[in-house]
Amino acid sequence: MEAVHIEFQGMEPQEMLRAAIARHVAELEKRFGRITACRVVLKGPGQHHRTGGLFEVHIRLALPDEKEVNVGHKPDADERHADVNFAINDAFKRARRGLQDQVRRLQGRMKSHEPRAEAASPTKADKTST
């Protein structure tokens, strides 16, 4: 995999956070081994009314065959995202679930739901023949 690209928005870059993100990415790569590129955007707490004081983490994982796993979660009213470590851990849990789903799809083990056909209503002739 190429180097992990980490971008800090609305906050100063911190080596401690870079190291935590790198550990999470290494764990994902160790488990799934098919990650070709990774980009993480860590947004500092904004002054917005709905999400003020909460961190946002966005993750883009590139996989072979032009597949991707994108995790972007707006914390809305979840105050736990005021802790940057919680926000990072939560985002990588979502990324792990997304990778698990993608691996299942690639292996053909996940059902893909076909569009439901409209059920034909019984005609008068069908009702009388029974």
* Nearest Cα to Cα of residue 94 among 51, 125, 59, 65: 59
- Domains of the chain in sequence order: 5-111 (3.30.160.100)
82-111 burial by CB neighbour count: b if 16+ within 10 A, else e?
Answer: eebebbbebbbebbbebbeebbeeeeeeee
Q: How confident is the model at residue 109 (pLDDT cuts 50, 70, 90)?
A: low
Work out the mean pLDDT of the chain and round it to a whole number.
81
Between 116 and 69, the more confident residue is 69
Q: What is the pLDDT of residues 43-101, one digit of tens each?
A: 998 755 554 688 999 999 998 888 888 998 776 767 888 899 999 999 999 999 988 88
